[in-house]
């Protein structure tokens, strides 16, 4: 506050003029600061991409077998996560996804519950309560372990019908995947698609047809899971992701979106190198879709990681084998994928981040911290 001198009238007049000028400057500065603060406090969009079963070797295939430069090269903030569950040194997808979704280390096969089978809130549910739009995209059934861990709460991952029932609670604004049988061919005789439509969803079981911006939207496009790339799947993962982003942009609210590249894992389980490679490349293309979106929408955080590695995959030397003599000759221009198992492994899992808050994701830490780091980026914890 201005202190006026009473020594002389001239000092009073000059002081008054100076005070008015300073007050105007202060008001202008406060207005500028308020605008700047409002811009800085704009809610952050979050996109979490999970390449199921994707370890270092799987990521490496996107460099060796891709026709274009891998989108993984665009990341500067990179870390590793430890993935052991509360019950097993080697985790499964349910415990791995639940750890990232809830911040709780839980037992294998658990969906959205802690090690005592008590339901715990997921980051999707917490953001839904704060007015965020929410979305899930998968190649498997939408009731499968990874997507289910963000909205459902059951003791065992195989409780698909119970998981489907949890989806009817309406906390997911946009979802796309397979699994319509768990909604329509149920033991209890209920038709959950009808129930979803009555609660305000537009549900499509035929294809990625135009969404209804005035409703929540769900796409259940296979009885169980979508086909793999080598079995004829087209650009579904990129198209569904683009559709979700467009849907969210049709509204003003921020969003949380989880996108799963499900079949990288299945390639490892089958020891099918071509399946694993093509699924990783497809996932890489989808990362590119998200990065293009971020160029126009910089108030977005992208985190890419996995729940575990599958297959003990390695990228090594390629050998031509003579069919008559079985003699092996190295081809120095090629590489080949090798597997040591058809199960999950205990590898540390790479995690990549880009956008506001990306610096939080460097280092080596338990997978439960993915949840806390996302919340820190969102300003929900300090």
DSSP H or E segment with residue 53 = none
Model pLDDT, residue 227: 98
pLDDT of amino acid 382: 73
**Nearest of 46, 25, 51, 67 to residue 280 by alpha carbon:** 51
Q: What is the pLDDT of residue 40?
A: 55
**Is 372 part of the annotated catalytic residue set?**
no
Angle at 49 (CA atoms; ends 207, 158), nearest 5 degrees: 70
In the DSSP assignment, the letter for residue 323 is T
Share of the chain above pLDDT 70, in %: 89
Q: Which residues fall within 8 angstroms of residue 290, CB to CB, at 6 or more apart? A: 47, 49, 241, 245, 259, 302
Q: What is the mean pLDDT of residues 87-115?
A: 98
Residue 227 per-residue DSSP state: P
pLDDT for 305 beyond 50: yes
Asked whether the predicted pLDDT for residue 381 surpasses 90, the reply is no
Residue 13, pLDDT score? 33
Q: Which helix (H) or strand (E) holds 129?
A: helix 123-129
Pair of tokens at residue 364: 């080596």
- The yes-or-no verdict on residue 77 having pLDDT over 90 is yes
pLDDT of 331 higher than 70: yes
Is the pLDDT at 317 greater than 50? The verdict is yes
| pLDDT band per the 50, 70, 90 thresholds, residue 171 | very high
Looking at the predicted structure, is the pLDDT value of residue 355 above 70?
A: yes
The DSSP annotation for 167-225 comes to HTTS--SEEEEE-THHHHS-TT---HHHHHHHTTEEEESSS-PPP-TTSEEEEE-SSS-
CA 153 to each of CA 70, 161, 164, 179, 353: distance values in angstroms, whole numbers, following the listed order: 36, 12, 11, 18, 28
Active-site residue (options: 93, 141, 225, 228): 93
Domain boundaries, the chain: 1-30, 45-377
Which class in CATH covers the domain with range 45-377? alpha beta
Per-residue pLDDT at 252 exceeds 50: yes
The dihedral through the CA atoms of 352, 356, 357, 359 has a sign that is positive
Span 198-247, pLDDT tens digits: 999 999 999 999 999 999 999 999 999 999 999 999 999 999 999 999 99
Closest among 364, 308, 365, 304 to 341, alpha carbons compared: 308
**Residue 6 contacts by C-beta under 8 Å, 6 or more apart in sequence?**
12
CA-to-CA distance for 356 and 94, rounded, in angstroms?
28
Contact 313/59 with Cβ under 8 angstroms? no
Please tell me the total number of residues recorded for the chain in this structure: 382
Scan for tokens 């026709």, then name that residue.
Answer: 67
């Amino acid at each position: 506050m201005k202190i006026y001198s009473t020594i002389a009238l001239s000092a009073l007049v000059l002081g008054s003029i100076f005070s008015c000028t300073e007050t105007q400057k202060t008001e202008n500065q406060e207005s500028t600061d308020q605008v700047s603060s409002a811009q800085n406090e704009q809610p952050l969009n979050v996109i979490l991409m999970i390449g199921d079963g994707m370890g270092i070797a799987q990521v490496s295939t996107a460099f060796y077998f891709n026709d274009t430069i891998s989108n993984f090269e665009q990341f500067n903030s990179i870390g590793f996560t430890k993935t052991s569950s509360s019950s097993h040194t080697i985790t499964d997808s349910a415990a791995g996804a639940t750890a990232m979704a809830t911040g709780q280390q839980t037992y294998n096969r658990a969906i959205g519950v802690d090690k005592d089978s008590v339901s715990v809130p997921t980051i999707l549910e917490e953001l839904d309560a704060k007015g965020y739009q929410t979305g899930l995209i998968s190649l498997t059934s939408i009731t499968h372990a990874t997507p289910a861990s963000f909205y459902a709460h059951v003791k065992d991952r195989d409780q698909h019908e119970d998981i489907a029932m949890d989806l009817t609670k309406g906390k997911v604004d946009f979802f796309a995947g397979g699994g319509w049988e768990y909604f329509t061919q149920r033991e209890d005789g209920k038709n959950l698609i009808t129930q979803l439509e009555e609660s305000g969803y537009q549900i499509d079981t035929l294809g990625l047809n135009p969404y209804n911006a005035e409703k929540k939207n769900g796409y259940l496009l296979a009885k169980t899971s979508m086909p793999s790339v080598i079995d004829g799947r087209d650009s579904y993962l990129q198209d569904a992701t683009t559709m979700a982003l467009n849907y969210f942009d049709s509204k003003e609210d921020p969003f949380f979106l989880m996108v799963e590249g499900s079949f990288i894992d299945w390639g490892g389980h089958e020891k099918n190198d071509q399946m694993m490679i093509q699924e990783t490349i497809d996932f890489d293309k989808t990362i590119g879709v998200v990065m293009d979106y971020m160029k126009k929408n910089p108030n977005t955080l992208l985190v890419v990681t996995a729940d575990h590695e599958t297959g003990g995959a390695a990228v090594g030397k390629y050998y031509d084998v003579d069919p008559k003599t079985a003699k092996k000759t190295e081809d120095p221009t090629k590489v080949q994928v090798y597997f040591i198992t058809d199960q999950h492994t205990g590898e540390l899992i790479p995690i990549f981040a880009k956008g506001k808050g990306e610096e939080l994701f460097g280092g080596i830490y338990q997978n439960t911290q993915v949840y806390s780091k996302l919340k820190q980026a969102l300003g929900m914890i300090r």
